[in-house]
């Protein structure tokens, strides 16, 4: 009997969540409550819709040519996909066995990496979202500590896993020079980081908060300018250089 999972939505031609053109599956459920979340409707585990592995594969199959020819594949995001690790593992295993697809896991790292061996064995790339390097600021931003996320990053590094590290930049929250340098220092200690990306904060999810009857915490916060993002990249890179010299 095909395992079931609860999903939020899917995208057939994703171009930003891993290499090439990708099928992106968004899982339901998340333990972080990020103030800038553009999909707060993914938080609750009883939302979305229930699907089987076979139903997901049937959605992917018509587009296999595009994923293969572009060097793309399947990305499973969220919510937080590791919270449904068994289902995600089976989907990844099947797309590899049937079509040899590249698999990417988009995760906030807020799960026990040691318990996810089977999932990691069929994961080619992890997009690891580091919300804030400072634990106090991370708690304010997400409602939880960053300790588990940093532990996951170290585990991935120690076990030879490929990573893209991603960091949403919110003006007033992520523009402390020392924090950005410390983020760079931490990334500089990791092996397997193929790319670091700063994702500029945007307000496209405000309407979902309002639909859910929630007050949006960052109502008057603007998106960062190109100059702010470029400066943040420089600060992080300077921290990485320090780490590499040590």
> Which pTM does this prediction carry?
0.96
Strand 49-52 versus strand 4-14 pairing type: antiparallel
pLDDT in the model for residue 42: 96
Mean pLDDT (whole number) for 199-226? 94
* C-alpha closest to that of 232 among 189, 187, 181, 185: 181
pLDDT in the model for residue 176: 97
Q: How far apart are CA 108 and CA 78, in angstroms?
A: 9
Q: Identify the three-state secondary structure at position 143.
A: coil
Mean pLDDT (whole number) for 164-184? 97
| Cα-only R_g, the chain | 18
pLDDT in the model for residue 115: 86
Strand ranges, E, within the chain: 4-14, 22-27, 49-52, 73-77, 102-107, 125-129, 163-169, 193-200
Mean pLDDT (whole number) for 44-63? 97
pLDDT in the model for residue 114: 81
pLDDT band at residue 205, thresholds of 50, 70 and 90? confident
pLDDT band at residue 237, thresholds of 50, 70 and 90? very high
Element (H, E) at 177: helix 177-188
Question: Percent of the chain having pLDDT more than 90?
Answer: 94
Mean pLDDT (whole number) for 2-8? 94
pLDDT digit string, tens, across residues 82-137: 999 999 999 999 999 999 999 999 999 999 888 899 999 999 999 999 999 999 99
Backbone angles phi, psi at 49, to 5 degrees: -140, 150
Half-sphere exposure of 118 (CA within 13 A, CB side): 11
Measured CA angle at 78 (ends 12, 152), to 5 deg = 125
Q: Is the preceding peptide bond at 32 cis, omega within 30 degrees of 0? A: no
* C-alpha closest to that of 199 among 228, 161, 162: 228
Which CATH topology does 4-245 take? Answer: TIM Barrel (3.20.20)
What region does 29 belong to: left with phi over 0, alpha with psi -120 to 50, or beta? left
Question: Percent of the chain having pLDDT more than 70?
Answer: 99
pLDDT band at residue 145, thresholds of 50, 70 and 90? very high
pLDDT in the model for residue 71: 97
Dig out the tokens for 111 from the structure: 């799960």
pLDDT in the model for residue 167: 98
Q: Specify burial of residue 211 (Cβ count, 10 A radius: 0-12, 13-18, 19+).
A: exposed
Handedness of CA 201, 208, 53, 24 (dihedral sign): negative
Q: How many residues are present in the chain? A: 246
Task: Answer yes or no: is pLDDT of 2 > 80.
Answer: no
Q: Identify the three-state secondary structure at position 51.
A: strand
DSSP annotation of 82 reads G
Q: Identify the three-state secondary structure at position 159.
A: coil
- Torsion angle of C-alpha atoms 55, 74, 165, 245, degrees rounded to 10: 140
Task: Answer yes or no: is pLDDT of 1 > 80.
Answer: no
Domain ranges for the chain: 4-245
């Amino acid at each position: 009997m095909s395992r079931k999972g609860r999903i939020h939505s899917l995208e057939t031609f994703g171009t930003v969540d891993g290499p090439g053109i990708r099928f992106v599956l968004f899982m339901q459920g998340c333990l972080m409550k990020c103030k800038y979340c553009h999909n707060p409707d993914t938080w609750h585990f009883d939302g979305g819709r229930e699907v089987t592995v076979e139903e997901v594969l049937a959605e992917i199959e018509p587009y296999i040519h595009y994923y293969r020819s572009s060097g793309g594949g399947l990305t499973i995001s969220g919510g937080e996909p590791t919270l449904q690790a068994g289902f995600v593992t089976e989907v990844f295993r099947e797309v590899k066995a049937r079509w040899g697809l590249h698999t990417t896991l988009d995760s906030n790292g807020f799960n026990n990496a040691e318990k996810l061996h089977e999932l990691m064995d069929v994961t080619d790339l992890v997009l690891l979202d580091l919300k804030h390097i400072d634990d106090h600021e991370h708690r304010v931003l997400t409602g939880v500590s960053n300790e588990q996320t940093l532990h996951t990053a170290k585990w991935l590094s120690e076990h030879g896993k490929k990573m893209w590290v991603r960091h949403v930049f919110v003006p007033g929250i992520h523009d402390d020079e020392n924090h950005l340098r410390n983020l760079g220092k931490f990334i500089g200690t990791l092996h397997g980081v193929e790319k670091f990306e700063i994702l500029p904060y945007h307000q496209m999810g405000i309407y979902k908060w309002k639909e859910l009857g929630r007050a949006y915490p960052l109502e008057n916060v603007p998106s960062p300018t190109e100059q702010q993002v470029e400066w943040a990249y420089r600060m992080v890179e300077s921290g990485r250089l320090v780490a590499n010299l040590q």
